[in-house]
Structure 1
Amino acid sequence: MRQFFVFVFSLVLLFSGVTASASEQCSSLFLVQNWEVSSRVRKNKFVTNRDLYEYREVLHTDFMNSLSKLTPDQHWVDLGAGKANAQIDYIKSFSNPLSAAQATGVAYKLDRWFSPPKFDGKLQIKEGAFEQQPTATWKKADLVTDVFGVISYTHDLHTSLQKVFDLMNVKGELYIFTTNYHTSIKVGEKKSLSLMDFLATIEGIHVEGRYGTIKITKEIENVIVPSFELVKYVDDAPPSRTYIRSDLVH
């Protein structure tokens, strides 16, 4: 159906004598891709019950040590937290929940019958797209995790990364587990970078790890993510995405 729509739309443009500019073509592509992403996200076909044991197994080996060092006034944000099982496991490991760090789970959509425990205010769930969350009003994060979450699935990777780095404290750590080579960023006519290689080009962060198991330490206050835009999105779990530096698009 989508291919038929694109075909008909192309005929309309051809016979109406409309010649779209390169920027208009880009905009049309982005609108189609955004619809495709939103359609998949609305179905909520993701794993939502990953526990802390699984986080320990798949994230960078420094993760559990960093988590254990968090103090009660610090903050752990989990992107794509599902039912926040990992954060619930973490808080339950304390005899007194108030001894745990503040935990915020970002979940696009919760099951209607699911009501997560609040642990005297230590756990919050932010429901909805991360890109639209008012993260500037949140408590700064000392630890951020993403296990096949926002960073793997978002169409607007630039905004998501920028919001994450803005949210983090200096010396804060971001732990990512993703399929590294499903995401590529074109930075020249013949050069494409994997997600991890692209992250390593951003000034003010230190990147470690390999094969999609990534640890990032924020080293300066104002980290600026170079602009890039989506040019290809293939729906999968996780999707395959191709981006291009914005100054190379038009």
Structure 2
Amino acid sequence: MIRQNSYTIDRNLLDYKLILGPEFIEFLTSLGLEHHWIDSGAGRARAMIDYVQDDFFSPQARVTALDSNTPEPHYLAELEKKFSSPGFRYLSGQRIENRHLDEVGCADLITDVYGPLQYSSTMDQVLERYATLLKPEGEIWTVQPVITFIYDRQNKEIRFQDWLKYVQGLTVHSVLSPHSGARELVLLRNEESIVIPKLALQSIYSGSPPLRKFTLLDS
């Protein structure tokens, strides 16, 4: 399903496997009752619904689906009826940059599958909020933005992965998914303090995902 502004809102767990690779499913199986998975830009939360309904993943982590848009009231009512357990939450109507730790909770796993890191005009703030939510040794699974450009003050282009190298406190692992062609990125928190290099938006043009240009303010 495609929302009116042209982004997919119903990717399921198989889609996540194809995009992030089979290693992602292996990581999911390592999670248990004491863990917490946050899916940012979750759309209709199909991937998490598949996860909690599949006995293959047992025991299961607590899950929280986040999306800036609010689904239809009847769909929310359906989710509440199916998943009344505190182990499943759906928080909508607010951008991830504006959500607080005490509202969402700390996470062992954060996924962003063509979510805010691909669409937000404040990409650095998105990553900063993920870092705030991430537990020590926690991981962020995402994909490299495909039409996002970052330039330094001399107008020299910096690849997204090179920008991530400026980040203090996160180790980046990159793998090319054989099924989707997307470049899977796994960010591991390995320090207590995380510093995200600031970006200033130069321009953004609508698309799926949008074409964005940023300037690196510090390093």
119 and 101 in structure 1: CA distance in 2 versus 1, 3 angstrom threshold: farther
Larger relative helix fraction: 1
The residue that corresponds to 2:151 in the other structure is 186
- Percent identity, aligned pairs only, is 24
The residue that corresponds to 1:175 in the other structure is 141
Q: Contact 1:185 / 1:244 at 8 angstroms: preserved in 2?
A: yes
* Secondary structure at the counterpart of residue 113 of structure 1: helix
Q: Contact 2:144 / 2:160 at 8 angstroms: preserved in 1?
A: no
Q: 2:60 aligns with which of 100, 110, 114?
A: 100
Structure 1 Cα separation of the partners of residues 190 and 52 of structure 2: 28
Equivalent position amino acid for 1:52 in 2: L
In structure 2, list runs of 5 or more residues that go unmatched.
Answer: 176-181
The residue that corresponds to 1:196 in the other structure is 161
* Secondary structure at the counterpart of residue 159 of structure 1: helix
Please state if 1:52 is matched with 2:13. Answer: yes
Please state if 1:124 is matched with 2:89. Answer: yes
Please state if 1:153 is matched with 2:119. Answer: yes
The residue that corresponds to 2:195 in the other structure is 224
The residue that corresponds to 1:83 in the other structure is 44
Q: Which has the higher contact order (CA 8 A, sep 6+)?
A: 2
Residue by residue over 1:109-168, the C-alpha shift from the partner in whole angstroms, topping out at 9 and shown as x without a partner, is 212321223251111111121112123443210011111111111111111110001110
* TM-score, with structure 1 as normaliser: 0.75
Q: Contact 1:196 / 1:212 at 8 angstroms: preserved in 2?
A: no
Q: Contact 1:166 / 1:222 at 8 angstroms: preserved in 2?
A: no
Equivalent position amino acid for 1:73 in 2: E
The residue that corresponds to 2:33 in the other structure is 72
Equivalent position amino acid for 2:61 in 1: A
Structure 2 Cα separation of the partners of residues 175 and 247 of structure 1: 25
Q: How big is the shift at 1:205? A: 1.1
Task: Map 1:13-24 to 2 at 5 A.
Answer: none
Q: Which has the larger radius of gyration?
A: 1
Q: Contact 1:75 / 1:103 at 8 angstroms: preserved in 2?
A: yes
The residue that corresponds to 1:243 in the other structure is 214
Q: Contact 2:7 / 2:209 at 8 angstroms: preserved in 1?
A: no
* Secondary structure at the counterpart of residue 215 of structure 1: strand
Aligned residues: 205
96 and 231 in structure 1: CA distance in 2 versus 1, 3 angstrom threshold: closer
247 and 196 in structure 1: CA distance in 2 versus 1, 3 angstrom threshold: closer
245 and 94 in structure 1: CA distance in 2 versus 1, 3 angstrom threshold: same
Q: Contact 1:60 / 1:215 at 8 angstroms: preserved in 2?
A: no
Structure 1 Cα separation of the partners of residues 192 and 44 of structure 2: 31
Q: How big is the shift at 1:195? A: 1.8
Structure 1 Cα separation of the partners of residues 123 and 188 of structure 2: 18
Structure 2 Cα separation of the partners of residues 89 and 186 of structure 1: 40
